[in-house]
């Protein structure tokens, strides 16, 4: 059984994550490769020319994508291996980001770490008001920093100060707060959306299906499509340098972050300092160059003793 399926209905393509034999969806080398294959299949289909939107969603209740595969990261001991793992995600998310169609992440549940970073590569993020909807980048709790674009896309989207607060605390926000921050574009009622994912996932790839399938979600998407030009223009602007818009705010936010980092547990110091450096250096570059900075900084912490120790402690705590 596939982990990611796709449908095409009424000019809206839907890619649905539902990892087999797992309670959550995670980003591993294997699932990233599968996601790219499914994406390429959709783009190569006979109906792709008529496609107006591409939706990424999850069929798992309470979960969008929970993050990168921590066990795989734990097993990466050489910088070269980390480089390949991160670059695969960077290339795939850049492909997603560069599509002409409007890309929309529908987040009804936990979008953490790499899951949120995938959503950040989409043009639009819809978040529900469901109790399990949480958006966050908690990598510092594992002695890591976001490595799939989060250190660079998040500051460009919500500002350096708010982005650093999210990343340094590792604390997620709910759907309503995500909209307030500008992290999500629209808050969707969880109860109204609840049945749409299952219905949409039953849609035949040829487009022959009950016209009510996913109707509420499709109606919302069609409203968003009317603003496609604005969302695409925003994406183009966000690919530039953060420093063009708020050079003094960057310096102030980073300095404040370093003060806060000194108050944090000693074990997390390397990750926090590396995060601050990645944000500070990347803010002065265009997005492609900034992502290369992020990758180098992620490699530094991913092979560190600090990260290995914190990951082991994380798994030990889950066994209790």
- The answer to whether 41 is a known catalytic residue is no
Distance, in Å, from the CA atom of 226 to the CA atom of 143, rounded to the nearest integer, reads: 42
Q: Is 117 a residue of the active site?
A: yes
**C-alpha dihedral, 16 to 58 to 176 to 129, nearest 10°:** 120
Q: Check: CB of residue 255 under 8 Å from CB of residue 262.
A: no
What is the C-alpha to C-alpha distance for residues 286 and 279, in angstroms, rounded to an integer?
Answer: 12
Is residue 128 a contact partner of residue 256, using CB atoms and an 8 Å limit? no
Q: How far apart are CA 267 and CA 104, in angstroms?
A: 37
Phi, psi (deg, nearest 5) at residue 49 = -65, -25
- Could you give the angle at the alpha carbon of 73 between the alpha carbons of 70 and 74, nearest 5°? 85
Whether the CB-CB separation of 282 and 294 falls below 8 Å is answered with yes
For residues 227, 122, 286 and 261, what is the CA-based torsion angle, rounded to 10 degrees? 120
Q: What is the DSSP string of 170-220?
A: ---B-HHHHHHHTSSSEEE-HHHHTTHHHHHHTS-TTS-S-TTTTHHHHHH
| Catalytic member of 97, 117, 280, 306 | 117
**Active-site annotation holder among 139, 218, 294, 306:** 139
Residues annotated as catalytic are 117, 139
């Amino acid at each position: 059984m596939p982990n990611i399926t796709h449908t095409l209905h009424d000019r809206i393509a839907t890619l649905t994550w539902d990892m087999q034999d797992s309670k959550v969806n995670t980003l591993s080398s294997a699932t990233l490769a599968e996601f790219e294959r499914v994406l390429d299949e959709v783009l190569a289909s006979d109906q792709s020319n008529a496609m107006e939107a591409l939706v990424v969603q999850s069929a798992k209740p309470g979960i969008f994508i929970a993050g990168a595969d921590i066990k795989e990261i734990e097993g990466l001991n050489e910088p070269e291996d980390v480089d390949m793992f991160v670059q695969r995600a960077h290339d795939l998310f850049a492909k997603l980001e560069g599509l002409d169609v409007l890309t929309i992440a529908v987040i009804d549940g936990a979008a953490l770490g790499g899951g949120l970073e995938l959503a950040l590569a989409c043009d639009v993020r819809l978040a529900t008001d469901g109790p399990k909807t949480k958006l966050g980048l908690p990598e510092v709790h594992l002695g890591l920093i976001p490595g799939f674009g989060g250190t660079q896309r998040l500051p460009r989207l919500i500002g350096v100060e708010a982005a650093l607060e999210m990343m340094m605390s590792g604390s997620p926000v709910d759907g309503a707060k995500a909209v307030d921050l500008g992290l999500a574009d629209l808050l969707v009622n969880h109860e109204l959306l609840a049945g749409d994912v299952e219905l949409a996932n039953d849609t035949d790839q040829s487009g022959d299906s009950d016209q009510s399938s996913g109707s509420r979600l499709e109606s919302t998407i069609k409203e968003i499509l009317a603003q496609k030009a604005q969302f695409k223009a925003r994406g183009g602007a966000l690919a530039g340098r953060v420093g063009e818009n708020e050079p003094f705010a960057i310096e102030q936010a980073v300095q404040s972050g370093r003060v806060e980092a000194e108050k944090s547990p000693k074990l997390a110091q390397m990750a926090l300092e590396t995060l601050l450096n990645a944000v500070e250096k990347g803010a002065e570059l265009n997005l492609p160059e900034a992502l290369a900075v992020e990758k180098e900084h992620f490699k530094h912490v991913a092979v560190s003793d600090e990260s290995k120790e914190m990951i082991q402690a994380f798994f030990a705590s889950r066994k209790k």
